[in-house]
Structure 1
C-alpha cells in the first residue's frame, strides 16, 4: 500500500464510529523515527525537543517583585479606600524609575493611564502632589493620560462587541510602534467595561481576550476593580484565572475619616513571589503644602491571625492558606492557634 493509499484509508476510518486510535496515527516516513505532524496554519506547535530548548527572554520585573513584564495585575477594594491614589502611585513610580512603598523599580518604563471615572482636575491635583514629593518628573512620553473626562463622547465601552474602545486604547499605547507603552493601567472596570453583567463569564470574555493579546505584545496590564459587599472582588471569578498578582486594599481597624487615604495591602494571589514579599502591610498617603508623601508600616500579628482565620473559615486548607498568604504550613498553624505553637 502506498503512502497516499494509507492516508486515504485513515481518512475513511476516521468517519467510522469504531475507528481505532492506531488506525488514525500518521504514517512514519521512511527512515524517520517519529511522525511528522504539521501545525495548523497560522499556529505554532512545539514538540518536546523545541519546547524544552526554545530560547525566549526571561520576564523581568517592572516593579519588583509584584509586577512582571507581560503581566496581568488586579487591584480591588471597596469604594473610597484609595484605589486611585495607589494606582497613580504605581504609575508615577514606574514612569520615573523610582521606588514605591517597599517595591523597587529597576528602570523607567512607559505608562498609559486610562481613567473612566474621575474629573480631570482631581487627577491633575493628585499627580502634582505625588510628583512634587518625588522631586523628579516623568520624561516626555513616559506617563500619558487617556481620561474619559477629556473626551467629548467619553471612552467607548471596552467590553462591547464593537472593538472601537479597545482599538482606541491600542492606538494610545502605540501598540507595535517605537514608543509602545510597557504598562497599561485601567481605572476602573466599572466605568470602562459596561456591557453585560459583571457576574457572567461571557461579558468578560472580550476583555480577557484583549488583555491576553496585549500580553503577547509585551504590554503589562494593571486594572482597578471594586469589591462587593462581602469584601471580595465583584463579578465573575474567571477574571482572576490568568492574573499574576491580585492586591486587595482595605481600611485598617480603627480607621477614621481624618486618616484620608490609609489602607492595608493584602495579596490574594502572588505568582512568583512568596514569604516576606507577600506579607500584608499598611500604607498611607498624605499631602502637606501641595507635596505628597507615602508612609508605611508592618501590620500587627493580630491582623495576620484574623486573615488566616477568615481563610480557614472559608474552607481553605492549611496548605492553601499558606499559598495564599505566602507562609509555611507551620507558620499558618501557629497563626490559627493565636500565635501559639500547636500541641
Structure 2
C-alpha cells in the first residue's frame, strides 16, 4: 500500500505522502536478472520498415530543455553545488504540473524520489518550494513519493521491487539521489559492472516508460560523472551542474535527439516555512533554500549577493502595498546586509528600473517591476 497516515500533518486532510521503507538490504546478488520462461519476441518480429519508422513519434519533453519522457538522464556536479535542491525542485514541479523556473512542464505526473542518503530535511525543502511558488502541498499528495532508502542496482531483489513500484504508481519520473549510494558493492570505475547497473536501471525505466534522473558526483577539477564513462555514453541527457555562493548553472552537455550545448542559470532564495505548515518546529528547522531562475540583473551589479538579497526582500515582502526604502533596508539588514550596502543596492535597482514606485514622490513605496518578478 503506497503511503502512510500522518494524522498531525497540517497541510493535508487525508495525509501521508511519504511511504516508509525498510533500510535493510539483502546480500548483493548476481547482476543478471532472474531466469524464467522467456516472453522475449524473436528479433525478426522486432524489425522495422521505413513505414514503421514514420509512425514513431519524437521524444516529448518532461521538463522542456532539461528532461525528456521515457529517457535516462544524469545530473552530475561537485559536492555542495546544490544538486539535491535542483532535483527536488524539478520533482515538485513535475508532481504539481507547474513550470519550473523558465522550463515548461506540459503536465503533472507521479514522481518517485529515491533519497538514498536519507530523507531527513526533505520536508522543509518541499514545503519551502510550495510556499514560494504558491502551490498547495495537497497538490503533491499521491503524486510525490519519497523512498528513504537506496535501490541497489546490483541487487536482483531491489531491481525487481523497483520494477513493481514504478509500475504500481505509474511513475513519470524516478530520481536516484545519489548514483553512488545506489551502486554499493559495484566497482565505480568498471565499465562492465556499471554497464550491468545501467541495464538493470533501464529495466526499471521500461516498466513504467518513465524518465529516470540519476544524480552523481563529478570528479575533483573535472567534468562529467565520476568513475566509468559508461554512464556518460548511455544516458540520453547528460546534464552538468556547477554551483556555489547561491548560484547554479546547468550545462546541457548532451541530449541525443534534442538541442543541446545550452546553459541555464539559477540562484537560491532563502525561505522560512510558516509555523502553520511545520507546527512545533523551531525557526531554524523551518529555514531552507529554493532554486529560482536567475535574475536579469545578476550579471551586472558589483555587489551581487547584496542585490540578490534586496530583490528577495521585494519578492517575498512587498506584496501589493510595496515597501519604503527604510523598510527594505531593515529587512535586508535582518538578512545580514549592512545598512550602507542596502541603500546602495536600493539606489542601483531604482536607477536600473527594477523597482517601481507605487506611492508618491514624497512617500515612495516600491514593488518589483514586472520584468524582474520571474522566479518569485
TM-score, with structure 1 as normaliser: 0.63
Matched, 1:234 2:226: yes
Residue 282 of structure 1: aligned partner: 265
Q: Which residue, out of 194, 213, 225, partners 2:203?
A: 213
Structure 2 CA distance, aligned partners of 1:104 and 1:208? 28
Alpha-carbon spacing, 1:157–1:123, altered in 2? closer, same or farther (3 Å): same
Residue 167 of structure 1: aligned partner: 160
Matched, 1:294 2:292: yes
Count of aligned pairs? 240
Deviations along 1:177-222, whole A, 9 cap, x unmatched?
4x31011000001111112221111221232112322343411100
Structure 1 CA distance, aligned partners of 2:219 and 2:86? 19
Q: Which residue, out of 137, 148, 152, partners 1:157?
A: 152
The answer to whether the 8 Å contact 2:114/2:151 transfers is no
Alpha-carbon spacing, 1:287–1:196, altered in 2? closer, same or farther (3 Å): same
Q: CA deviation at 1:96?
A: 0.6
Matched, 1:124 2:107: no
Residue 87 of structure 1: aligned partner: 87
Alpha-carbon spacing, 1:196–1:295, altered in 2? closer, same or farther (3 Å): same
Single out whichever of 219-228 and 198-207 deviates more from structure 2. Answer: 198-207
Please show how residues 1-343 of structure 1 align to structure 2 within 5 Å: 42-43=42-43, 44-46=45-47, 48-49=49-50, 51-53=52-54, 55-118=55-118, 120-136=119-135, 137=137, 138-148=139-149, 155=150, 157-158=152-153, 160=154, 162-173=155-166, 175=167, 177=168, 179-217=169-207, 218-232=209-223, 233-251=225-243, 259=245, 261-274=246-259, 278-290=261-273, 292=290, 294-297=292-295
Give the secondary structure class of the aligned counterpart of 2:120: helix
Q: CA deviation at 1:94?
A: 0.6
Higher Rg? 1
Give the secondary structure class of the aligned counterpart of 2:162: helix
Alpha-carbon spacing, 1:78–1:46, altered in 2? closer, same or farther (3 Å): same
Q: Which sections of structure 1, spanning at least 5 residues, go unmatched? A: 1-39, 149-154, 302-343
Q: CA deviation at 1:129?
A: 0.9
Structure 1 CA distance, aligned partners of 2:220 and 2:81? 14
Q: CA deviation at 1:47?
A: 5.1
The answer to whether the 8 Å contact 2:114/2:147 transfers is yes
Alpha-carbon spacing, 1:135–1:189, altered in 2? closer, same or farther (3 Å): same
The answer to whether the 8 Å contact 1:146/1:172 transfers is no
Alpha-carbon spacing, 1:59–1:264, altered in 2? closer, same or farther (3 Å): closer
Single out whichever of 235-244 and 179-188 deviates more from structure 2. Answer: 235-244
Structure 2 CA distance, aligned partners of 1:126 and 1:139? 13
Alpha-carbon spacing, 1:290–1:79, altered in 2? closer, same or farther (3 Å): same
Structure 1 CA distance, aligned partners of 2:222 and 2:295? 23
Deviations along 1:96-137, whole A, 9 cap, x unmatched?
11111221101101110001113x331112111111212213
Single out whichever of 57-66 and 79-88 deviates more from structure 2. Answer: 57-66
**CA-based RMSD:** 2.5
Q: CA deviation at 1:171?
A: 2.8
Q: Which sections of structure 2, spanning at least 5 residues, go unmatched? A: 1-39, 275-289, 301-376
Structure 1 CA distance, aligned partners of 2:219 and 2:202? 25
Give the secondary structure class of the aligned counterpart of 1:234: coil
Structure 2 CA distance, aligned partners of 1:116 and 1:142? 19
Alpha-carbon spacing, 1:283–1:293, altered in 2? closer, same or farther (3 Å): closer
